[in-house]
Amino acid sequence: MRILIAEDEPAFRQILEKILTGWGYEVQVAEDGSAAYRILSGEDAPRLAILDWKMPGMEGVEICRRMRAEKPEHYLYLILLTSQQREEDLVQGMEAGADDYLIKPFRLNELRVRLRAGRRIIELNEELLAARAVLQEKATHDALTGLENREEILDALDKELARVERDGGCFTIIMADLDHFKQVNDTHGHLAGDEVLRTTAQRMLRLMRPYDSVGRYGGEEFLMVLPECCGGCARAFAERLRAGIADRPMDTTEGALKVTMSLGVAASGVVAGRDGARGLLKAADDALYQAKAKGRNRVEV
C-alpha cells in the first residue's frame, strides 16, 4: 500500500519515510501542503496520507477539509500530525475530516497500529466499491450478452434525443432481429441459441464506434443508437452489421451455425421532435417488419 507523507521538516520527514519503507509501505513524500494537496487530488493518489498540521503552502487541516469536500471516488484515509502544544486543536482537525491524529513525538508502536486501522477502512471501502460496480453492471446490462439492457439502451436513446434537441445534428437508431431464431433453438437447443446470441453481440460490438450504444431490446432483438450517423452512413453501417452476421457461420458446441439478421433503420430527422423516442422506435420497428416481409437477411429504412 502507498502512503503519502506530507511534512515540511526534512529530518522528521526522512525518519518517517525510512520507518514506513521498512514496514513495507511504498512511500511518496511532499515537502509542503500545496504539493500534498496536488498529489492527493491527482490521478492514482495514495489512499493513505500522513499530513503535518503546520506546513507552508497549505495546512494539513485545510487539506482534510478540501479532500472531504471533493469526495474522490476512493476513500482517502487522512492522519493529521500535530505537536504537543496544539493538542487542543485536534477536535478542529477531526471535524475538518481527519480520520485520526498523531501527536509528535509519537511512539512507533502507536503509528504502526494506527496505520493498520487505516488500512482496514481502505480495504472495506475497496470491497464496497467493487460490490457497487457489480450491482451497477447487473442493473444496467444483460447477463447473457453483456450488452446494455432494455432500460439502459432506451435511456441512451432519450439522452441522444435530448442532445440533438439542444445541439442540433442527427442520429440514427437500428432495430435488429435474428431471423428464424426459434428454429435455431428448436433444432440445436437453447444453449446453442444462447451462444449465437453472445456471438451476435460480440460481432456487433466489434463493428461499432466507441460512442455508439447497443442493447438487448428483447429476446433476439437488439437496439442501436448511433450519434452523428445519418442517411448513407447509417444505411452503410446497418449493411456492415448484416454482413458481419451472415458472412461467417457461428461456432457453437453444436457445430458451426449459419445465422442471419434483419435490420430496420430510422433517422432522428424524420420523426424526432414530433413524437420523440416512441415515434423513432415505431419507425425502426416498421422498417424491420418490412425487412422480414421482404425475405429477411436485409436492411430497410
Point out which residues bind Mg ion (CB under 5 A).
8, 52, 54-55, 177-178, 181, 220-221
Q: Which does 144 bind (CB under 5 to 8 A by kind): Mg ion, ligand GH3, none?
A: ligand GH3
Cβ proximity to Mg ion: between 246 and 270 the closer is 246
Q: Which does 66 bind (CB under 5 to 8 A by kind): Mg ion, ligand GH3, none?
A: none
Residue 52 binding target from ligand GH3, Mg ion, none, CB below 5 to 8 Å by type: Mg ion
How many whole angstroms separate alpha carbon 263 and alpha carbon 291? 7
State in angstroms the smallest separation of the CB of 292 from Mg ion: 7
CB-nearer residue toward ligand GH3: 181 or 237: 181
Interface residues toward ligand GH3, by CB under 6 A: 144, 177-182, 185, 190, 193-194, 197, 219-220, 292, 296
> In this structure, are residues 152 and 140 in contact, taking their beta carbons and an 8 Å threshold?
yes
**220 carries an active-site annotation:** yes
Question: Rounded to 10 degrees, what is the CA torsion of 175, 179, 185, 190?
Answer: -30
- Round to whole Å and give the CA distance between 93 and 266: 59
Q: Which residue type does 135 have? A: L
Residue 255 is which amino acid?
Answer: G
Query: What residues have CB less than 8 Å from 204, skipping those under 6 apart?
Result: 147, 176, 214, 222, 224, 241, 244
State in angstroms the smallest separation of the CB of 190 from ligand GH3: 4
Q: Sign (positive/negative) of CA torsion 40, 44, 47, 50?
A: negative
Residue in 70, 220, 228, 239 annotated catalytic: 220
Where do we find the cell 428483447?
218
Residue 104 or residue 180: which is nearer to ligand GH3 going by CB? 180
Residue identified by cell 494539513 is 60
Q: Choose among Mg ion, ligand GH3, none what residue 198 binds, the Cβ cut-off being 5 to 8 Å by kind.
A: none
Q: Are 184 and 193 in contact (CB under 8 A)?
A: yes
* Smallest distance from ligand GH3 to CB 218, Å: 7
Q: Which is nearer to Mg ion, 40 or 229 (CB)?
A: 40
- What minimum distance in Å lies between the beta carbon of 21 and Mg ion? 21
Residue 109, CB-side half-sphere exposure with 13 Å CA sphere: 0
Known catalytic residues are 220
